[in-house]
């Protein structure tokens, strides 16, 4: 099958493209390079430069490449930015998806894997978050992902589309040094940036109701996440009635303090202790996935632990920054 991967030149998208190619699938990449990089797209993969907001470009892409399905990763994803620029996030994430779905319907493309997020859950007060946990997002980014799920569900019902909405938890690591996350927005690269600049990494809040007082999160290796996308495309390729909403996590919680200490250990940069600051507004104490449903539905299970994530992220950090 041939899959259009939107955002296929970005951090997660690049890993998904390589995983699909390794699985024997054909791939076309669409990316506007707002965060992606041309050199990350393999030479043999057709590349369309532009935005999912460009309906004419999407129509031409579907005509020219005989696409069977879409893996929709392109989106804006920074929570603080979404609070400051909510209309921008609704335009990019919600209107962008609407335009993409309209183009899919017009081209009779009936399969979509959607990058959703654990941000749809907001601040759940449960030990393990399963897919039936109420969705109460607390920022425009999470809202945009939940609206996206609703839009896909309604379009699927009206137009016979099969879909898998994958709710990512905290993504880290790299499949190869050259594919490492170039942004400094998530915990691992943020800590690496501080340590390599001889500055203390920051921990926000140490008075939560958790074993060590810091927030607990579920971290997932980007390679495992990419393989989850492959499993989803395989399911959609054989099941035209698939209507799936699935967590992608390990089902294991790691505290922020534990993750910071692991990064200090792996890097050998242990001289600078972390700096403790007050809690940030809106940070839930614990968000850990129940990953049972994705195993049942797709036969997928995470293979990599947090040490794998940190070691591969550190190798990528050094390769990119000398």
Instruction: Please state, rounded to an integer, the average pLDDT across all residues of the chain.
Output: 96
Domain made up of 173-217+251-289+303-321: CATH architecture: Alpha-Beta Complex (3.90)
Q: How do residues 147-198 score in pLDDT, each as one tens digit?
A: 999 999 999 999 999 999 999 999 999 999 999 998 888 999 999 999 999 9
Instruction: Supply the pLDDT for residue 268.
Output: 94
Strand bridging mode 243-248 / 216-217: unpaired
Residue recorded with tokens 């393999």: 42
Instruction: Supply the pLDDT for residue 322.
Output: 63
DSSP code of residue 90 = I
In the CATH hierarchy, which fold is given to the domain comprising 2-171+220-248? Rossmann fold (3.40.50)
Banded model confidence at residue 10, pLDDT cuts 50, 70, 90: very high
Query: Helix and strand tally (H, E) in the chain?
Result: 11, 14
Instruction: Supply the pLDDT for residue 182.
Output: 85
pTM of the model: 0.96
Q: Report how far apart, in Å, the C-alpha atoms of 121 and of each of 7, 72, 146, 230, 284 are.
A: 24, 20, 9, 24, 10
Residue 141 bears catalytic tag = yes
| Among 237, 216, 209, 291, CA closest to 24 | 237
Q: Which is the catalytic residue, given 141, 163, 168, 208?
A: 141
Instruction: Supply the pLDDT for residue 131.
Output: 98
- Kindly give the residue spans of alpha helices, DSSP state H, lying in 108-186: 140-159
Banded model confidence at residue 280, pLDDT cuts 50, 70, 90: confident
Instruction: Supply the pLDDT for residue 154.
Output: 98
Residue span(s) of the chain under CATH 3.90.25.10 come to 173-217+251-289+303-321
Residue span(s) of the chain under CATH 3.40.50.720 come to 2-171+220-248
Q: How do residues 32-85 score in pLDDT, each as one tens digit?
A: 999 999 999 999 999 999 999 999 999 999 999 999 999 999 999 998 899 999
Residue recorded with tokens 């060590």: 212
């Amino acid at each position: 099958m041939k899959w259009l991967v939107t955002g296929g030149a970005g951090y997660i998208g690049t890993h998904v493209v390589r995983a699909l190619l390794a699985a024997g699938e054909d791939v076309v990449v669409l990316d506007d390079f707002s965060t992606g990089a041309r050199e990350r797209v393999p030479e043999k993969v057709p590349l369309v430069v532009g935005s999912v907001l460009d309906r004419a470009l999407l129509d031409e892409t579907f005509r020219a490449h005989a696409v069977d399905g879409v893996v929709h990763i392109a989106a804006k994803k920074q929570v603080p930015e979404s609070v400051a620029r909510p209309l921008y996030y609704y335009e990019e994430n919600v209107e962008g998806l609407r335009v993409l779905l309209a183009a899919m319907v017009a081209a009779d493309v009936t399969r979509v894997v959607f990058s959703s997020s654990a941000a749809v859950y907001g601040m759940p007060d449960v030990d393990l978050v399963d897919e039936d946990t109420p969705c109460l997002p607390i920022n425009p980014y999470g809202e945009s992902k939940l609206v996206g799920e609703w839009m896909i569900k309604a379009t699927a019902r009206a137009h016979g589309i099969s879909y898998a909405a994958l709710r990512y938890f905290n993504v880290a690591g790299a499949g190869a040094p050259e594919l490492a996350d170039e942004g400094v927005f998530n915990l691992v690269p943020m800590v690496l940036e501080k340590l390599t600049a001889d500055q203390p990494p920051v921990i926000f809040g140490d008075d939560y109701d958790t074993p060590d007082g810091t927030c607990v999160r579920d971290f997932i290796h980007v390679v495992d996440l990419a393989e989850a996308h492959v499993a989803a495309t395989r399911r959609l390729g054989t099941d035209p009635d698939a209507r799936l909403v699935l967590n992608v996590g390990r089902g294991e919680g790691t505290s922020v303090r534990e993750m910071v200490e692991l990064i200090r250990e792996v890097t050998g940069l242990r001289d600078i202790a972390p700096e403790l600051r007050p809690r940030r507004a809106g940070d839930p104490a614990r968000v850990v996935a129940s990953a049972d449903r994705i195993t049942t539905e797709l036969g997928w299970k995470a293979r990599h632990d947090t040490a794998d994530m940190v070691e591969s992220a550190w190798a990528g950090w050094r390769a990119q920054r000398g």
